Amino acid sequence: MTTQSHFDTALFAFLEVLRSNNNREWFQAHRQGYERDVRGPMPRFIGDVGPHLWPLSPRFVADARPQWPLAVWSCTFSLLVIPVS
């Protein structure tokens, strides 16, 4: 069985630099990298992981529709949230 990674090192590099530059001006200047490396692969990841969450708890929801903020969440706590704006 072969699996394709949902994310590559660019996602982790972006997040590492964001850690030291967590401000609106830096983010706006680097939005293209966010869209490409972070937000871009997220719908496929959420779509692939979502079906495996239901057996854990029906309260887990995975919704990768682009009109919603990309999130995997339960009604009680947040697992992963990538803001759209």
Do residue 61 and residue 82 come from a single domain? yes
Name which residue leads in pLDDT, 59 or 8.
8
Do residue 76 and residue 59 come from a single domain? yes
Give tens-digit pLDDT for 15-66. Answer: 999 999 999 999 999 999 998 998 888 888 888 888 888 888 877 777 776 6
Domain range for 17: 7-40
Do residue 60 and residue 83 come from a single domain? yes
Q: Residue 63: beta bridge partners?
A: 71
Do residue 50 and residue 18 come from a single domain? no
Total tally of structural domains belonging to the chain: 2
DSSP per-residue codes, 9-41: HHHHHHHHHHHH--SHHHHHHTHHHIIIIIITT
Do residue 47 and residue 58 come from a single domain? yes
Q: Give the span between the Cα atoms of 47 and 25, in whole angstroms.
A: 31
Q: Give the span between the Cα atoms of 73 and 59, in whole angstroms.
A: 8
